[in-house]
Amino acid sequence: MIKHLRSAADLDAATATLILDTAGEMAALAGREVKKLPTLRGRTVVNLFYEDSTRTRISFEAAAKRLSADVINFSAKGSSVSKGESLKDTALTLQAMGADAVVIRHPASGAPHRLAQWVDGSVVNAGDGTHEHPTQALLDAYTMRSRLGRLDGLKVAIVGDVLHSRVARSNVLLLTTLGAEITVVGPPTLIPLDLAAALSPATKVSYDLDSVLPDMDVVMMLRVQTERMQDSYFPSAREYSRRYGLDIARMRKLPEHAIVMHPGPMNRGMEITPEVADSSRSTIVEQVANGVSARMAVLYLLLGGKA
């Protein structure tokens, strides 16, 4: 088993599949009255969060607790970090406390890579800057596999601000590893020029959502921050919605079986309309539930559990 999960590229197909299978076993546990396994008793998992992210932090916390680990939440606000402590000093502190795993969310790309150089425990990337969010990709892959029964050959559109999206990067890498065919869709300003060369040569790029939808098994809508407007990535929220937002009319272009995903938090009315988000095709709430199972699987396997 790998030691750290810093990037979805750390996972080969066998390892990724093992994590998804393990997540399935963990999910079965969620249906039981006692939702707890003793596996990580006596182990310490630190949630080191430099960005506000209630849902990801709670998801990791629930995952670690269901595995009976001791959980320490270290939030950058109101801590030594706000007094100017460096990541390295924080890392050495966590090291001294004997953290077996550090789950890190950080606004700077590559912070988990730096952290891994300073701590002995496992490092799990819970989102770093505009780089990656590998456990999100795992829970997304898990959700797709649960709903559609397979990943190999699945056609997946990832739509929106790919340039700034850590979710998109991790999903392209992981889903490609698992045999899915990815098309990224968005305005050219929000798609990196070298995307396919950088991540996976088979990745397709389209600027036209309508032409892509009829072929897709999955459409994953990314959050688009309205601040991008001020930076001229697109002219207005209205124009963005019109060209790249998913509304009922567009959703009807999808095949019957296709699902709609969103990593949250959503901008309802911007990239996705409420009717679509709340429709039966939407897996958005399921993704949250699957997040706990996927993260349990990651912590379990990284910390030496056997499948």
Partner 1 sequence: MTSYLLRGVSVLGAAPADLLIRDGVISSGAPEDAEIIDADGLVALPGLVDLHTHLREPGREDAETVETGSRAAALGGYTAVFAMANTSPVADTAGVVEQVWRLGREAGLVDVQPIGAVTVGLAGKQLAELGAMATSAAGVRIFSDDGHCVADPRLMRRALEYVKAFDGIIAQHAEEPRLTEGAQMHEGEVSTRLGLTGWPAVAEEAIIARDVLLAEHVGSRLHVCHVSTAGSVEVLRQAKARGVRVTAEVTPHHLLLTDELAASYDPVYKVNPPLRTASDVHALREALIEGVIDIVATDHAPHAVEDKECEWAYARPGMVGLETALPVVLSVLGERWELIAERMSRTPARIAGLTGHGTDLKVGQPANLTLVDPSARRVVDPAELASRSRNTPYAGTTLPGRIVATFLRGEPTVLDGKAVK
SS3 73: strand
Size of the site for partner 1 (CB under 8 A): 25
Residue 61 near residue 70, CB atoms below 8 Å: no
Beta bridge partners of 157: 183, 219
55 is catalytic: yes
The site map against partner 1 for 151-180 (x = CB under 8 A) is ---------------x--x-----------
105 is catalytic: yes
Residue 131 Cβ vs partner 1, minimum distance, rounded to whole Å: 3
Query: In the chain, what is the straight-line distance between the N-terminal and C-terminal CA atoms, in Å?
Result: 11
Residue 283 Cβ vs partner 1, minimum distance, rounded to whole Å: 25
Closest listed residue to residue 122, CA positions, set 92, 94, 101, 95: 101
Q: Distance (Å, rounded) from C-alpha 183 to C-alpha 268?
A: 23
77 is catalytic: no
- Judged by CB under 8 A, does residue 223 bind partner 1? no
- Judged by CB under 8 A, does residue 194 bind partner 1? yes
Considering only 3, 113, 147, 155, the residue that binds partner 1 (CB under 8 A) is 113
Q: Distance (Å, rounded) from C-alpha 160 to C-alpha 71?
A: 35
Nearer to partner 1 by Cβ, of 24 and 129: the residue is 129
Residue 185 Cβ vs partner 1, minimum distance, rounded to whole Å: 17
Residue written as tokens 């009829």? 214
Nearer to partner 1 by Cβ, of 107 and 188: the residue is 107
- Judged by CB under 8 A, does residue 132 bind partner 1? yes
Write down the H helix ranges in the chain: 13-30, 54-66, 87-96, 111-118, 134-148, 166-177, 195-199, 209-212, 227-230, 237-244, 248-251, 274-277, 284-302
SS3 123: strand
CA angle 91, 56, 148 (to 5 degrees): 130
Which range touches partner 1 (CB under 8 A), out of 36-44, 53-61, 95-103, 189-197? 189-197
- Judged by CB under 8 A, does residue 198 bind partner 1? yes
- Judged by CB under 8 A, does residue 269 bind partner 1? no
- Judged by CB under 8 A, does residue 129 bind partner 1? yes
SS3 37: coil
Considering only 23, 27, 195, 276, the residue that binds partner 1 (CB under 8 A) is 195
Residue 136 Cβ vs partner 1, minimum distance, rounded to whole Å: 14
Burial 228-238 (b: 16+ CB within 10 A, else e): beeeebbeebe
- Given the residues 55, 77, 150, 257, the one annotated as active site: 55
- Judged by CB under 8 A, does residue 193 bind partner 1? yes
Residue 190 Cβ vs partner 1, minimum distance, rounded to whole Å: 12
- Judged by CB under 8 A, does residue 3 bind partner 1? no
Reply yes or no: is the peptide bond before residue 265 cis, omega within 30 of 0.
yes
- Given the residues 56, 135, 183, 273, the one annotated as active site: 56
- Given the residues 43, 57, 66, 105, the one annotated as active site: 105
Considering only 80, 86, 211, 225, the residue that binds partner 1 (CB under 8 A) is 86
Q: Which two tokens stand for residue 5?
A: 């999960």
83 is catalytic: yes
What residues are annotated to the active site? 55-56, 83, 105, 133
